[in-house]
Amino acid sequence: MRLKIVTVGEPVLRQPSRELSKDQVLSPVIQNLIEYMRETMRDAPGVGLAAPQVGESFRLAVIEDKADYQKTFTEAELAERGRTEVPFHVIVNPVIQLLTDATEVFFEGCLSLPGYTAVVHRAAAVRVQCLDHLGEAKTIEASGWYARILQHEIDHLDGTLYIDRMKTRSLSSLENYTRHWKGRPIDS
């Protein structure tokens, strides 16, 4: 079942989400929500989807960066972004730690702000403590694009959107980004 993705202006996107207990994670309600979010993310398509984006104020997100999504990028672009395939997984109640002061700067988009993109600074490497889809404790260390995805989705769980972190003068429609900026250095 595909869920409706809410867009900017919806109050749930601006509120901190509530934590889930292991029992709640294992409940049929949350297990079904995880499956519906997976289908919704893949249908969009996107590389991450947080529960608030489907109107649910839970500290839960699904993430997957399929190789298919990377086919439009050159090897050099993939290397520059540190982008590799990330298998499907769930993060629940994540706590993030930035592992470096170094940042990476790229255009970023969001399923809750369809049709737009902007330049966003993100930490180059992070560690995330969370529960998985079975309520088991996990530690994720990530760098490059995967670190960006984690930061973006965890921001959603805190009521933050990428437009709160963007370089404001870089905001662009996807059409104009493709026409004028795609493939050009960020500093231009």
Q: How many helices (H) and strands (E) does the chain have?
A: 5, 8
Contact 53/158 with Cβ under 8 angstroms? no
**Residue 108 a catalytic site member:** no
Which of 56, 104, 108, 153 is the catalytic position?
A: 153
Contact 54/103 with Cβ under 8 angstroms? no
Q: How many CA atoms lie within 13 A of 160 on its CB side?
A: 11
**Hey, which residues does 95 pair with through a beta bridge?**
129
**Hey, which residues does 141 pair with through a beta bridge?**
127
Q: Return the residue matching tokens 């996990």.
A: 138
Reduce the DSSP state of residue 106 to 3 states and report it: strand
d(CA 49, CA 53): 7
Q: How many CB atoms lie within 10 A of CB 126?
A: 22
Give the residue from 63, 69, 34, 78 showing the smallest Cα distance to 150.
63
Catalytic residues: 153
